[in-house]
Structure 1
Amino acid sequence: MKNNRVITALVIIAVVIGVFLILGPFYIVSEGEQAVLIRFGQIVQVERDAGLKLKTPVIDNVHRFPKKIMSWDGEPQRIPTSENQFIWVDTTARWRIEDPERFYERITTIPAAFGRLDDVIDSAVRAVIAENSIAEAVRSSNRINEQDAEELIGADATQIEGDIEEDSFRELLDMIAFDVQHDRINKGRRQLSQEMLDNSRDDVADFGIELIDVVIRQIRYSDDLTEAVFNRMISEREQIAEAYRSYGDGRREELLGQLERERETILSTAEAQAQEIRAIADGEAARIYNQAYGQDQGFFELWRSLESYRRTMPNMNKILSTDMDYFRYLYNPEG
C-alpha cells in the first residue's frame, strides 16, 4: 500500500515535470542578441548576455532584439538650400539598440524603429541643409580655391611639360591661371553631417537607440541647377582651351619669325657667295676674252657686232636707214 502511494507520487511528480518542460521554461539568447522578458505586459527582466535562460512558462513572453550595429538608409530628399536652390540629398546612418527596456516600451519592434528613424533623421537633414549654402553641402574644404594652373589642367600638364621648354611651360601656366574663385565655406560637408547627427541623437535616445553616425551619402543637383553647374564647368574648360590656343598661336608666330630670319640669313649668305663667285668668274671670263680677242682685232670686232645683231635685230620693228657704221658687216663684204 505504501509502495503504491510512493509510485503514485512519483508519477504525479514526473507528469508535473513533463508538463513543465513541455510548456517551455527555458529560452536561448544567441550571440548578437538581447532579450526582454515580459510578464502580464510588464518588463520583469532584461537579458544582455548569450546563453540558456529560464522563464515562467505560459506567463512570460520573450522579445529578442539585435545587439549589432544596423544601418539605416533614407530616401533621397529634394531640399532647398539657404539660397533657395534645390538639391537631392541621400543620407545613411548607423545605429543600435542601447537600452532594450526603453526600446520595448517606446517602440517595441524593429520596423517601427526604422519608421521613427525616418522621421527624426529626415527632419534633421532637411533642417541642416536649409540653413546652409549649397557650397557647404557639396564641399568639405576650400582647396579648390588654392589650386594652381597645373592642377586645373590636370593630367595634360605632364604631357605638355615633356613637349616644351620649362620657361614656355610656365608661360602657359600663367596664361591658364585665370581668376576663378569659388564660394568659401565655413563648415563643409563633414560638419553638416555632424550637425545632423547632433540634432538627431537626443531624439532617438528617448527610444533607447544610440545613433552612431549620419553620413551624407550622395548629393545630386536638381535638373534646373545641373544645367547651370555644367555651363560653369564648360566655361572654365573653354578658358583653358582658349589659353592653349593663344599659347599655340604665339608659339607659331614665334617659330615662323625664327624660320623667316633663318631663311633670310641663308639667302643673304648664299647671295654674297654667289656675287663673289660671279665676280671671280666675270674677271676670269674677261681675261680669257681679252686673251682670245687680242690675237685678231678684226675677228673680235666682227664677233661683237654679230652678237649685237642677234640681240637687237629681232626687236626692230622699223629700220629707216642702214647707212650707218653699225650695219657695216651686213652690207659691206669687207666690213
Structure 2
Amino acid sequence: MGKTKFLIPILAIAGFLGLSSIFVVDEREKALVLQFGQIRSVKEEPGMSFKIPFIQEVVRYDDRILSLDTDTIEVTPSDDRRLVVDAFARFRIADVVQFRQAVGVGGLRVAEDRLSSILNAQIREVLGADQVTSDTILSEDRRELMRRIQAAAQRSAAGLGLDVIDVRLKQTNLPEQNLEATFARMRAEREREAADEIARGNEAAQRVRALADRTVTETLSDAERQAQVIRGEADAERNAIFAEAFGADPEFFAFYRSLEAYEKSLKGSNSSMVMTPDSEFFDYLRSGTAPE
C-alpha cells in the first residue's frame, strides 16, 4: 500500500513529462525547437517529434502562402503627375531559421512590417524611374512594372527568409485634390476633339455640296447643250420639210402660211385689224381662189 502511494505520483509525473516531450507538426506549418532561445532543430516535415520538457520550446510558423496589403502611398512618375498607389503581395516563409534570426520573437507581425516597407520602397523606385510615366503605369506595361517590383522585393526580402511570390498594384489613382483639375482638362480635351471633328465634318460637307453643285451644273449644261442640238436638228428638219413642201406645191405652201398668219393674228380676243382693203394679207379671205 505504501509503494502504491509513491508509484502513482511517479507514473503521473512520468506521463506528464512524456506528453510534454511530444509535439506534432501540422502539414501547414514548420517548427523550430529552441533551447534557451537558441535553435536546436528544424521540423519542416509533418509528423510527431520530441523535445526536452521545460528546457526546450517549440515555435511554429505558417508554411502556407500569406497575403499582405500595403498602405496607400503617393508616387511621382517621370511626367510629374502624382498617383496614389497601394498594392498587395503574396509571400511565404521559405527559410524558418533565417526568418527567426531576422525577426526574433516578433514573428510574423515584425516580418509584415518590414516587408511592407520593402514593397513601398520598391514601388517608389520602380514607378519613379526614368521613362516610367503615369500613362505607362495605367497601360498594359503595368504587368511588367509589377514583375519588376516583385523581383526587387524578392531580393530584399531574401534576408528575412521570405519568398515574395507575387506583387499586384490594386489602385493607381490621382490624389483627390488633382481629380477636379484632371477632369476639367479631360473635358477641355474632349471638347477640343469634338470641335475638330465638327470642323472636319463641315469641311467634308462643303466639299460634298460643292461637288454636288458642280455635278448638277455640268449635268444641266450638258442637258441644255443636247436640247439645243436636238432643237437645232428639229428646226433644220422642219425647214427641210417646209422647203420640200414649198418646192412641191408653192401655191399650197403659200395658202398654208397664210392660214397660220390668220390664226396668230386673230388669236383670242384680238379680232380687230387695221389694214388697207387691197392688202395681200386678205387675198384668201376675199375669194375662194388663190391669188394669181
Partner of 2:64: 68
What letter is aligned with 2:29? E
Partner of 1:79: 75
Question: Aligned pair in 2 of structure 1 residues 43, 287: CA closer, same or farther (>3 Å)?
Answer: same
| Separation in structure 1 between the aligned mates of residue 132 and residue 194 of structure 2, nearest angstrom | 22
1:309 aligns with 2:262: no
| Separation in structure 2 between the aligned mates of residue 119 and residue 43 of structure 1, nearest angstrom | 27
Residues 294-330 of structure 1 show CA distances to partners (whole Å, capped at 9, x for unaligned) of: 2496x557535523522698499xx9x6447559749
1:57 deviation in Å?
3.6
CA contact (8 A) 1:94 1:214 kept: yes
2:133 aligned counterpart, secondary structure: helix
Partner of 2:42: 46
1:269 aligns with 2:226: yes
What letter is aligned with 1:38? L
2:113 pairs, out of 109, 112, 115, with 115
| Separation in structure 2 between the aligned mates of residue 206 and residue 53 of structure 1, nearest angstrom | 28
Question: Aligned pair in 2 of structure 1 residues 324, 140: CA closer, same or farther (>3 Å)?
Answer: same
2:123 pairs, out of 115, 122, 125, with 125
1:207 deviation in Å?
2.7
Question: Aligned pair in 2 of structure 1 residues 274, 12: CA closer, same or farther (>3 Å)?
Answer: same
CA contact (8 A) 1:136 1:189 kept: no
| Separation in structure 2 between the aligned mates of residue 139 and residue 87 of structure 1, nearest angstrom | 10
| Separation in structure 2 between the aligned mates of residue 109 and residue 55 of structure 1, nearest angstrom | 21
2:236 pairs, out of 257, 264, 279, with 279
CA contact (8 A) 2:69 2:89 kept: yes
| Separation in structure 1 between the aligned mates of residue 15 and residue 152 of structure 2, nearest angstrom | 54
| Separation in structure 2 between the aligned mates of residue 277 and residue 322 of structure 1, nearest angstrom | 35
Which runs of no fewer than 5 residues in structure 2 stay unpaired? none
* TM-score in terms of structure 1 length: 0.61
| Separation in structure 2 between the aligned mates of residue 270 and residue 287 of structure 1, nearest angstrom | 25
Question: Aligned pair in 2 of structure 1 residues 124, 11: CA closer, same or farther (>3 Å)?
Answer: same
Aligned pairs for 1:227-266 within 5 A: 227-228=184-185, 231-232=188-189, 235=192, 246-247=203-204, 249-250=206-207, 253-254=210-211, 257-258=214-215, 260-266=217-223
Aligned pairs for 1:1-335 within 5 A: 14-21=11-18, 23-105=19-101, 106=103, 108-132=106-130, 135=133, 138=136, 192-193=145-146, 196-197=149-150, 200-201=153-154, 203-222=156-175, 223=179, 224-228=181-185, 231-232=188-189, 235=192, 246-247=203-204, 249-250=206-207, 253-254=210-211, 257-258=214-215, 260-284=217-241, 287=244, 294-295=251-252, 300=256, 303-310=259-266, 314=270, 322-323=275-276, 329=282
1:121 deviation in Å?
1.6
| Separation in structure 1 between the aligned mates of residue 147 and residue 81 of structure 2, nearest angstrom | 22
Which runs of no fewer than 5 residues in structure 1 stay unpaired? 144-187
Which protein has greater RCO, CA pairs closer than 8 Å, 6+ apart? 1
CA contact (8 A) 2:245 2:253 kept: no
| Separation in structure 2 between the aligned mates of residue 112 and residue 214 of structure 1, nearest angstrom | 19
CA contact (8 A) 2:81 2:134 kept: no
Residues 50-105 of structure 1 show CA distances to partners (whole Å, capped at 9, x for unaligned) of: 22222234544333222333333324423233453212223333322122233234
CA contact (8 A) 2:79 2:134 kept: no
| Separation in structure 2 between the aligned mates of residue 54 and residue 291 of structure 1, nearest angstrom | 147
Question: Aligned pair in 2 of structure 1 residues 262, 130: CA closer, same or farther (>3 Å)?
Answer: same
1:194 deviation in Å?
5.8
1:138 deviation in Å?
1.8
1:134 deviation in Å?
5.4
Percent identity over paired residues: 20
2:64 aligned counterpart, secondary structure: coil
What letter is aligned with 1:294? E
1:240 deviation in Å?
6.3
Give the length in aligned residue pairs. Answer: 281
Question: Aligned pair in 2 of structure 1 residues 84, 11: CA closer, same or farther (>3 Å)?
Answer: same
1:128 deviation in Å?
4.1
| Separation in structure 2 between the aligned mates of residue 215 and residue 198 of structure 1, nearest angstrom | 12
What letter is aligned with 2:164? L
Partner of 1:178: none
Residues 108-149 of structure 1 show CA distances to partners (whole Å, capped at 9, x for unaligned) of: 3333322222222213323444454652762599x9xxxxxx
* TM-score in terms of structure 2 length: 0.68
CA contact (8 A) 1:86 1:225 kept: no
